[in-house]
Every structure is written in structure tokens, then in C-alpha cells.
Structure 1
Amino acid sequence: MTIDDAADARRAELRTAAIRLADEVLFPAAGDVDRTGAVPESHWQALAEAGLYGIAAPVDAGGPGLEFGEVTEILEVLTSGCLATAFTWIQHHGVVLSLSRTTNADLRAELLEATVTGRLRAGVAYAGVVPTPPRMTATATGDGWLLTGHAPFVSGWGDVDLLQVSARDAATDDVVSAILRMPDLLEGASADAVRATPVDLSAATATRTVSLRVDGLTVPVDRVVTRVGLGEFFASQNVGVRLNGTLPFGLIRRCTALLDVRGHNREARALRERADVVRTALDAGMADATALLAARADAARLALDAAAALAAADGGRAVVRGSASERLFREAAFVLVAASRPELKTALLQRFSGA
């Protein structure tokens, strides 16, 4: 077997593992995850054992060298299994990418291999830098940074080992991102500077999402993974928008599969065909933020259509708390606003209102 053959086999193996986990492990447990508000530890272990924590890493960082479309397909597949599990896990890949590209060689050496294998699980808190003025600011000190502000939605609290926190430099508006170990956030001097308040979500409560406030959090310079200009930061956000754009397609995948099971094959096929058109537009918009967000809005609306179609097919069962169609409808509302942007909110408002 050549090197290329081995790489092809590994990519196929990852895709097969994702489908198996989604259909045989995640989806059968998704109702219990929704009811209990907790992702079982066995889910995270299964993802790690399958090598799925490292799918976004380049080959030189220990990754499988997947094409971007192969990564997004795996994200869609796992979202079709359990939204709460996938939503928390998806954010890990942003940290892997940061570590694989950082000029902080010591931080890369310390954390990259462990995040690629899933021995360390990671989350992100970057929403504080998106609005202007920013919600989260960083002030330079002699040996690091002092962070103050608010990140309104931080998922994985209690499930992740690392948190990448981003803030805007109060002096230059650069975006400073640091990776902190959770014990360092919650213990010692930092404990008084950090307050996490659980957010009671209508769906995906098992993401363990909190509203995070920090007041004078000290970040040593050796924990900084990137520092980039504001323009560069927003340019890089297209990748994140596309990755989060897999969430609606995961729900569409599950809704159409259930429609097939219920004998509504024609309707399921029509939804899949619409999804193919929107997915193509989403991929084509990677270089154009306006087009990308428009396609992301179309995807979110289509997920709601798919969930509504399933609810209509199920009839009375769809209004019974805990049924798959009831949960998927709530989750479709969740992906309308999760990982959103003001432009996305405006686009959806216009689509639904007809204005």
C-alpha cells in the first residue's frame, strides 16, 4: 500500500466511524442527553478512540490531512446523531487549528498532540470580541495581559479541559487569544476573577453553556496562542461560520432519515435536493462573508423546514415532550441563532417576515 493509499484508507475510516457513531451511539442516546442535560463521558471517549478530535489538524500536526469538505461532512454526520455532543465537540477544532498555526512553540509542544488525540478537550470563548465596542478587553501588563469583560455563551463548561479566551487589546484593538487550563481558571487567584452563570437553553442543554464574566483575569504571556489585527481576525471567521454552518445540515440529515423511515421518501428527497443547493452556495461563499452569511441563513431556515416537515408527518407524536420530532424542532430553532452574527440575524428576520 502506498502512502496515498494509506491516507485514502484513513479518510474513509474516519467517515465510516463518524456514521457509525452518529447512527449507533449518539442518536439512540440523544433523547436521554436532552432529558438529563448531560453528555455521557463515553461519548467523548468514543470520539477520541475513533480519532475524530484531530480531523481539522494538518498532517504535520498529527492530523489525517482531510480536505475541508471531508471535515464538514463529518461534522454534519455527527450533528445528525446528537446536537449537544456535536456542538460542544465542534468548537474543539478551532483550538486545534490555533495550536497548529501558533508561533508559540512551547504552547504548541505542550498542548497540540493532546488536543489532536482528544486526551485534552477544548472549548472557546470568543464572542466577546465580535461586537464593537467589544465585550471582552485585554490590557497589557509587564508579563502578560489582564482580561475584563463578558462572553455571553461559552459551551462545554465542566466537560472541557482547556478554554481559548479571546479579547481585544484595549490599546490597539488587536485580538489576543490565550489558551488556559480549566483548573487555572477555577482555582487560586483566578477564582475571584471568573464568574460562570449557567444559561438555561431551550435545546441542547447538555452543551453546559454558561455566561462567562471575568474581572481582572491575569493571563501570562506564555499562554497566548495568537495575536492578530482585527481585520485579520474577522477574515478568519469565515472558516468558523462555515464549520458552524454544518449544524443545520446535520438536523436536515436526521429529519430526512426519519421521514424515509416513516415512508415519506418523496418529501425527504426534496429536502435533500434543496440542501445540496444551499450547501453548494455555502461552500462557494467562503471568500465572500456576505454571500456566506446569506447561505448560512438559508441553511438555518431549511433545517426548520425539515423539522416542520417531520413534525407534520408525525402528527400528535410531535407535540409529546421527548419525542424525536419534538426535540429536533427545538434544535432547529437553536441552530437559527447559535453561533450567530448580526448580519445572520437580519437575514433570517427578513426571510421569515417577507420584508
Structure 2
Amino acid sequence: MTDTDTARLVAAAHDIADGVLFPASVEVDRTGAVPAGHWQRLAESGLYGIAAPAQLGGPGLGLPQMVEILETLAGACLPTTFTWVQHHGMVAALAASPNTALRDEVLPEVVAGRIRGGVAYAGAVPVPPRVRAERVDGGWRLSGHAPFVSGWGIIDLLQISAGDIATGDIVAGVIPAKPQAGIANVSAVPLFVADATRTVSLDIDGLLIPDDRIVSQVSRPDFMANQNFGSRLNGTLPLGIAGRCTRLIGALGHGDAAIALQAKADAVRARLDAGMADSAELLAARAEGAELAVRAAGALVAATGGPALTISSPAQLLARNATFTVVAASRPELKELLVGRFSS
């Protein structure tokens, strides 16, 4: 992809964020539903394939361009962006999969946004895992509980990860994102913000995934190491919200405050990038980013004054969005860091 093509994708993200997502964000929050047109615009602009390498039909973006796109969209409509971000976890996994038949079958449709994907990692991360995998003839049998699965009713495929009870490896496979044999219960998880992500929990009992639908099987250390990239991308959510708050604060006449907040965001972004090779540093930077989002949103509420308390105000929505980033895609270590930062 040429520099012109890359610039076009970045420009498309800004156009969609400012022209489509942010103007509709309060209504999306009120109704708990993302308009179908949001997904269509993202697909038509080529933004469903940004995590795919060029040799597999993607744009081959560098990290800075990918980060800018994610931050831009996150500051416009959190539920749209959070649901869409899950898709890229599946894109990256398929692109790296040794199951080339599955990759070649699914990836072109996924990159084009004709198939929307989601991921369920949370059941595999804890020790012991909440979702367990057992080897059977021709595939794997999964059982357990996947606590937070976003995009149910929006996505077409779900990549679900589980811990192998025999080896401790992490096995990931793709299934249709709908009720089926082996999914004993689908329970809605109502959220006080970003409810339009359509988040559910899944009770899994004997879910069979055949070998031809398996994306990967890796050791737990390798799985956790690979989570650094996803963790870096999750760090774009609070910075995107902080960025939107900063621009609104500046528009309200608080230029010095906006400059100070922008400088803080730039410093956090640099620390997130530097932490890609160090999970402890990355988590520390993510904690700093989430705290910044909360502070920037608080500053926006203060700058807006009484109208910020009305349900129609973007300021109150951004404040709730900032709270979401304190716990979304979190880990115990990140929780402790944030408790420490907010109590010191």
C-alpha cells in the first residue's frame, strides 16, 4: 500500500468519526443500538482490514497509523469502536494461523468487512482458565464460562480461546456467533455505558470445534506474550476519549488546559509504544492512559458546567466512556495500578 492509500485510510477514519459517529453517539447510548450504517461505512472505507498484512490483502499499516485510526474512532463512539476493535483480534490471528485453508477461506471476507468477527479471550487468560479445552477425535471439546463477549447479534464469527486441560496450551477456534449445540446459555450483560456493544456471557458445555476451524494452539507463555499487541491497541481507547475531551475543552475557550492535556496524552502514547516489548511497562502506561481519560472527562464536565449533567450532553457520555476504559480488557495487575493511582 502506498503512502497515499495509508493517508486515505487515516482520513476516512477522521471523516467517519467527526461526520458520522460522534454526532450519533448520544443517540447510540440512549437506544443501546449501533446503526447498521456505522458498520457499512467502516467496511466501505476499508477499515475492517487494517490489522491484515499487505501480502494477505490488508493495507500493511504501521503501528502509528493504526493507533491514530483507533484513537480517532474511540473518541467518537465507544461502543462502535470497541465492537469493531474485537474484529481485528480475529484478523490478526487468522493472518498468522498455520491453518492456511481456514485463513484462505475466511480472511478475504473478514478483511472486506463482509464477515464481522469478535473474540473471547477472557475465558483463557485466568489460571486456571474459565474455558477449558479437551482433545477429542477430529477436534476439541470446550466447556466453561466466557464472561464478556461483545458484539452478539452484530458479529458473524466468534474466535474463542480455551486452556487445554492436558498441556496448558491455549487453543483458539472460530464458531458461528449464534446459539448452537454446546452453548448452554447466552445471558445479556447490561452495561451502564457502551451497552450498544451487545455484550453477553456464554455458558459452554461440550462445544465441539473441528480441527478445520482451529486457528491456533500455542503455549500459555506465547499466548500471553502475544497479548501485548492487543493490550497496546486497547490503550488507544482512553487516549481517544481524552483526545475528544481535549478538543471540546479547547473549543470552550480553555486553550491552556487543552494544550496541557494534549501534552500528557502524547507522553502516554510514547510510553505505550515503548512498552510493546515490556508487559509491565505497557500495563503501567495503560493505567496512566485510563487515569488521563477520567481526568480529561472531568475537566470537560467542569468546563461545560450544569448542561453537562443533562442526558443529551456529550460531556456526561464521555465521562462514562472514560470510566469504561478503567476496567475494559483489564487484568489484576492493571486493576492494582489504577487503584493505586486513584488513591494516591
Q: Same fold (TM over 0.5)?
A: yes
Alignment-mate amino acid for residue 305 of structure 1: R
| Residues 19-38 of structure 1 deviation map (CA, whole Å, 9 limit, x = unaligned) | 00000000000011000000
Query: Bigger CA drift: 212-221 or 170-179?
Result: 212-221
d(CA) in 2 for partners of 1:321 and 1:28? 14
Which aligned pairs between 1:1-355 and structure 2 lie closer than 5 A? Answer: 7-182=2-177, 185-187=178-180, 190=181, 193-354=183-344
Name the CA distance, whole Å, in 2 between partners of 1:180 and 1:212: 13
Alpha-carbon separation, structure 1, partners of 2:262 and 2:184: 44
Contact 2:179 2:186 in 1 (8 A): no
SS in 1 for 2:305: helix
- Whole-Å Cα distance in 2 between the matches of residues 22 and 110 of structure 1? 31
Q: Which runs of 5+ in 2 are unaligned?
A: none
Amino acid at match of 1:292: L
Deviation at 1:353, TM superposition (A): 1.2
SS in 2 for 1:328: helix
Which one-letter code corresponds to 2:321 in the other structure?
E
SS of equivalent to 1:186: coil
State how far apart, in whole Å, the 1-side matches of 2:287 and 2:207 are: 36
Opposite residue 193 of structure 2, the aligned amino acid is: A
Q: Which amino acid aligns with 2:84?
A: W
Name the SS for the 2:193 alignment partner: coil
Q: Give how far 1:194 is off.
A: 3.5
Give the Cα–Cα distance (whole angstroms) in 2 for the partners of residues 123 and 8 of structure 1.
29
> Residue type of the partner of 2:239?
F
Distance 1:28 1:193 in 2: 37
2:248 partner amino acid: L
1 CA distance for matches of 2:301 and 2:120?
A: 34
Aligned length: 344
State the Cα distance separating 1:265 from its structure 2 match.
1.4
1:42-94 deviation line (CA, Å, top 9, x unaligned): 00000000000011110011011110111111000011110000000011111
User: Partner letter of residue 81 of structure 1?
Assistant: A
- Measure how far apart 1:133 and its partner are: 1.0
2:183–2:202 CA contact under 8 A, matched in 1: no
3-state SS in 2 of match to 1:206: helix
Cα distance between partner residues in 2 of 1:310 and 1:171: 52
3-state SS, counterpart of residue 168 of structure 1: strand
CA distance in 2, matches of 1:193, 1:80: 34
Is the Cα contact below 8 Å between 2:152 and 2:199 reproduced in 1? yes
Q: Deviations over 1:274-306 (max 9, x none)?
A: 111111011101100001000000000000000
> 1:111-147 deviations in whole A, cap 9, x for unaligned?
0000011000000011001111110000110111110
TM-score by length of 1: 0.95
- The one-letter code matched in structure 2 to 1:46 is R
Distance 1:149 1:322 in 2: 40
Distance 2:246 2:100 in 1: 46
2:99 maps to a residue whose letter is N
Per-residue deviation, residues 310-341 of structure 1 (Å, max 9, x unmatched): 00011111211231111111111110000101
Q: Which amino acid aligns with 1:319?
A: L
When the two chains are superposed, the root-mean-square deviation of aligned CA atoms in Å is 0.9
Tell me the SS of whatever aligns to 1:90. Answer: helix
How far, CA to CA, are the matches of 2:312 and 2:167 in structure 1?
A: 49
Alpha-carbon distance in structure 2 between the residues aligned to 1:303 and 1:283: 18
Q: Deviations over 1:241-286 (max 9, x none)?
A: 0000000011011101111221111111110001111110111011
**d(CA) in 2 for partners of 1:67, 1:91:** 19
Judging by fraction of residues, say which structure has more helix. Answer: 1
* Corresponding residue for residue 3 of structure 1: none
